[in-house]
Each structure stands twice: as C-alpha cells, then as structure tokens.
Amino acid sequence: MKNQISNHIDNNTLSYKNIVSSLGVLALIILSVYLIALSAVSIVNAAVSTAEATVCCEKTKAGAWCQNTLPGNCDASYSSTPSSCDATSFCRLGTCYDSTEGTCAEKTSQKACQESGGVWTEGAPDEVPQCQSGCCVLGDQASLTTLTRCKKLSSFYGLETDFRKNVITETACIALTEAKDEGACVYEVDFTKTCKFTTRSECTKIKESGFFKDFLCSADDLATNCGPTTKTTTIANKDEVYFVDSCGNPANIYDASKVNDKSYWRKVVSKADSCAPDDPEGNANSPSCGNCQYIAGSIAKDYRSTTSKVKPTYGNYICQDLDCKDTFNGNDYKHGESWCINDNNKADEESVGSRHYRHVCIAGEEIVEPCADFRQEICVEDNIETQSGVFSQAGCRVNRWQDCSKQRAKGSCEDEDVRDCNWLSGGSSSSGTGESGSCIPSISPGLKFWDDAEKSNKVCRQANEVCVVEFESGLLGGEKCIKNCECLDDSWIKGKENQCNSLGDCGSKVNVIKVRGRGKGFSVK
C-alpha cells in the first residue's frame, strides 16, 4: 500500500516536472518571439530614422543639382536643408536662357543656370520672350528654334537668316521645306499625259496633278510625252550646263557620254555624282562635260559668245573659262584676281596727271576700278600662295603723304603704320637729330595747278631751302669754304631736286603723254 502510494506520488511528481518543463519551453518560445518582434521593431525604427535623415542638396559632390539624398553627399559649398527639394527656395525651377547659343532649358534651378552663364527666369519657356520658337529655314532643311539660335546656325552655314515666327508647329515647319522639293509634276492636258519639272508647292497649284520627288519628266516610269534630246540649256543662278527634255524641262547636268543612257534621264543626279566633279579647272572648255565650277574658274555660257570658241559635242553651251588672258599689262590672271596699274602702265611712276587703278578679272572680263584722283588714293597689291599657285589681290587706299615734310628722323618718317613716306638721305642735317636727309612722300600727290596756282606753289615751295655757304679769304687772295660746303656739291642739288619732285606735280616732270614741262622746274641762286 505504501509502495503504491509512493509510486503514485512519484508519478505525479514526474508529471508535475514534465508540466513545469513544458511550461519552461513555452516561456522560452514566447520570449524568443518577443525578442524577434522587438528586433523587427528596432529595424523598422532604424529604417524610419534613416529616411528622416535625408536632406535636399542644392548640389551634390557628384555635380548633380537639387537632389534629395544623405547629408554626406552634399557639396558643402552649396545650400542644403532637411526637407524636400520641391519645398526649397534655392531649388525653385524655371527657364534658363543661353543668350550665346540661343537655347532654352526648362526646369532648371537658378543657381545651376547662373553658373552655366545663362539668364534664369521663373516660369516655363513659353512664358519667356527670348524662348519663343519659330521655324528656322536652313536651305532645304528646317526646325523649330529661337530667333537667336536661328541666327547662329545661319551664320555657321553661311546662309541668310530665314526665321518664320508665325510657324509654331514642327509639322508646319517641316512642310515649308517639303514645299521646295523638286521633281516631276504629272498632269493631263487635252487628254495627253504631260509633265513639268518644278517644286512640290508649284505642283499643288495644278489641278489633278501628281508630284514625284527627284524624278525627271523624261522618266519612262511616268509614261508622259516628255523624252530625252541632245539639246542643252542653262538655269538661272546655277553654274552648270543641263540637258533639256522634249517638253523643255531641264534634266541632269550635260554629260555627252550619257545622252542615250535611260537611267540618266530617270532621276535627278547630284552635282557630286555628275561628270568630273573634281576637275581643277572646273571643266573649262570641255566639249563633253557641263559640270562647271565657278570657284574653279568656269561657268555655263553659249560657246558662240566665248573667246575660246570650243564647240560642245551636243548643244550650244559649254563651261566658259573665267580667267583673263592677255590683259592691259600683257599678263594672264585667274578669275577673281586683282592687280594695280597706273596711267603709265607701271605701279611705281607718278607723272603729272597720272592716276592709280585697280584691275579685276571677273568671269573672263578685265574690269577697271579707278582710285581717287590726284593720287589721293594709291593702289596696293600683294600675292597669296595657294595650292594652284600665286593669287594676286589689290585694292585702293588713302595716300598718307600729308605730314611727310614734318618728320625730322628716318624712323618716324618710314613708319608704315602711320604714313607713306621715304627718307631721302643727303642735304643738311635735320633739327638736332644728327640725321642728314629729308622725308618725302613715297607716292607724290597730284596738284590741280591750273585751278589754283598759288595753292600748288605753296606745296612746291616746301622744298625751298636757304643754305648760306661761308668762305674765308686768304691773305694772299683766294677763298676757302668753311661752312655748309656740301651745298655746293651737285649731289646736294640733285637731292633737293628729288625732294621738290616728290612733293607733287612740282619740279621737272613729264606728263601722261610723255611731254616734259618747260624749264628745269627749279633754280639755284
């Protein structure tokens, strides 16, 4: 009995221990769950804390503007604040206008705009007058841009500015250039299918017409009454010779080898893909190629009006040589060259009544342009070295002779940046400089002596000089020169004569018909 009670107690005790043990495990589990939950809360709090630590950087270390990021990413030289960039004053967005390029950038901060050299304005681009867009036409292309940008692009491409401020959509802008497309305009006249080579815009004016860009009216595909011929023509404002079809429309550039080539009569062939596009003479006087090059010295002309009289294989037009042969001075010059001539056919002689002229070679014609009369302008000339040889350029400019006689030193006299004078050595010493000589015009001016003789004489009298020569008498007779003895030398007298001649139409000179004036033109007393 005691043993049963004892066993029962032991079993109960064991059960109790198991229960206690189970409770302990449960408590541990609950504690673990609590710790995990607590840890999760800590992580969430940490994340929340991190998110709250971001700031608005006016500029980051990486160079980005107005970014919401960690404080450590901000450039210390700029502002930052613990709020969204949208709520800051320094990140307020507007339009940045670049007055140099003529471009507008929207949604730009003021600081970023100013540092890039722009002008910042609050608001959208369409609210800024300088950012108003229009259609900028550049040759056969067009785009929406600002007026300033259009001017810059036009200047870059060497074109006149064509800005259409009333065209404000991209579609309408592109349509402007498409209107200039050239091609075949096919239509019917009296039940006959015919064609006109024109622009798209002109074609739309013809009822029930069809436009075929880059096609020639002679194309077999179009099945019109226009076909190839051996005739040629010229087109206004173009350099080249062109084939003509049977309807009178211009076709491709004249190439004798392609006269029966159907593919050459089908679509427009560019100048670069036509015959001999790189000929250094511009196909001048070529009987078979009409790809003339104005810059290279040729242009389309009727061969019957040219000096060469070279007859083309087909038609009457040829690339005329624009150079000038056997000019006034006997030399040949290239198209565009200019050179100096005076009435004596020399650039360094100034006879009475002579004048300077600039001669120019333009399209095979020698054109004469006079400089100001009485040699108040002189012609100056220089040569430019080019790949094809020497190229002469000349021009008229003011003759700066007026203050030559006032110069007392060779250095100031021959200062080419200021005056056109030469130093004539010899004669008496100039005022205190120790330099013996006088300053005379390089190109003497002309004088209207028949109209105002006194005024002309006043100019010539500038060369007058009194030279007092002193002699000493000997005890036994005779004289010995002791002062200004050089004035007795013929070289001194010759120097004064040259000085007199250089002042203008003074002294002893010949005129433009080679007749010398009466008398010596000077006297020695």
Q: What is the pLDDT of residues 147-165, one digit of tens each?
A: 989 999 999 989 999 999 8
25 vs 31: CA distance, rounded Å: 10
- Looking at the domain assignment, is residue 196 inside a domain? yes
- Looking at the domain assignment, is residue 316 inside a domain? yes
307 & 236 share domain: yes
Name the domain boundary from 382, 398, 414: 398
Q: For residue 186, what are the β-bridge partners? A: 195, 210
Asked if 355 contacts 373 with a C-beta cutoff of 8 angstroms, the reply is yes
> H/E element holding 38?
helix 2-52
279 & 378 share domain: no
| pLDDT tier at 426, thresholds 50, 70, 90 | low
- Looking at the domain assignment, is residue 202 inside a domain? yes
Q: Quick one: tokens of 106?
A: 């929207």
- For residue 60, which of 51, 52, 70, 50 has the smallest C-alpha distance? 70
> Is the confidence at residue 79, as pLDDT, over 70?
yes
Which range has the worst mean pLDDT, 26-40, 116-130, 136-150, 162-176? 26-40
Question: How many residues are recorded in the chain?
Answer: 525
Q: Quick one: tokens of 208?
A: 């029930």
- Looking at the domain assignment, is residue 262 inside a domain? yes
497 vs 506: CA distance, rounded Å: 9
- For residue 276, which of 301, 249, 257 has the smallest C-alpha distance? 257
Within 10 angstroms of residue 324's Cβ, the number of other Cβ atoms is 23
- Looking at the domain assignment, is residue 220 inside a domain? yes
195 vs 251: CA distance, rounded Å: 12
315 & 384 share domain: no
Asked if 374 contacts 448 with a C-beta cutoff of 8 angstroms, the reply is yes
Within 10 angstroms of residue 199's Cβ, the number of other Cβ atoms is 16
Rg from Cα positions in the chain: 47
222 & 307 share domain: yes
183 & 317 share domain: yes
pLDDT of residue 179: 82
349 & 242 share domain: no
Considering the chain, what is the average pLDDT of its residues? Answer: 83
Match 């299918």 to its residue by tokens: 193
Which range has the worst mean pLDDT, 236-240, 423-427, 432-436, 493-497? 432-436
Within 10 angstroms of residue 522's Cβ, the number of other Cβ atoms is 17
429 vs 174: CA distance, rounded Å: 78
pLDDT digits (tens, 9 = 90+) for 491-504: 777 777 777 777 77
- Taking the model in full, what pTM does it have? 0.54
pLDDT of residue 521: 56
266 & 346 share domain: no
Which range has the worst mean pLDDT, 16-25, 118-127, 321-330? 16-25
Amino acid at the residue 9: I
> Is the confidence at residue 14, as pLDDT, over 60?
no
pLDDT digits (tens, 9 = 90+) for 400-416: 988 888 888 999 999 99
Could you give the number of structural domains in the chain?
4
| pLDDT tier at 490, thresholds 50, 70, 90 | confident
For residues 474-484, average pLDDT: 83
Name the domain boundary from 42, 64, 89: 89
Note down the domain range covering 85.
52-89
237 vs 340: CA distance, rounded Å: 31
Asked if 59 contacts 75 with a C-beta cutoff of 8 angstroms, the reply is yes
- For residue 496, which of 463, 472, 456 has the smallest C-alpha distance? 463
> Is the confidence at residue 1, as pLDDT, over 90?
no
12 vs 308: CA distance, rounded Å: 139
- Looking at the domain assignment, is residue 76 inside a domain? yes
Amino acid at the residue 288: S
Name the domain boundary from 380, 398, 416: 398
315 & 394 share domain: no
Asked if 396 contacts 381 with a C-beta cutoff of 8 angstroms, the reply is no
pLDDT of residue 12: 40
317 & 372 share domain: no
Task: List for the chain the helix, strand, coil content (%; round to 5).
Answer: 25, 30, 45
425 & 372 share domain: no
Alpha helices in 449-489 (DSSP H): 453-460
| pLDDT tier at 514, thresholds 50, 70, 90 | low
Provide the Cα torsion 144, 149, 155, 161; round to 10°: 50
pLDDT of residue 364: 85
> Is the confidence at residue 473, as pLDDT, over 50?
yes
Asked if 136 contacts 165 with a C-beta cutoff of 8 angstroms, the reply is no
| pLDDT tier at 517, thresholds 50, 70, 90 | low
- Looking at the domain assignment, is residue 345 inside a domain? yes
pLDDT digits (tens, 9 = 90+) for 117-126: 899 988 888 8
28 vs 24: CA distance, rounded Å: 6
- Looking at the domain assignment, is residue 42 inside a domain? no
Sign of the torsion angle spanned by Cα atoms 179, 183, 186, 189: positive
457 & 367 share domain: no
| pLDDT tier at 351, thresholds 50, 70, 90 | confident
Alpha helices in 53-145 (DSSP H): 110-115
448 & 389 share domain: no
334 vs 325: CA distance, rounded Å: 9
Provide the Cα torsion 370, 371, 373, 379; round to 10°: -120
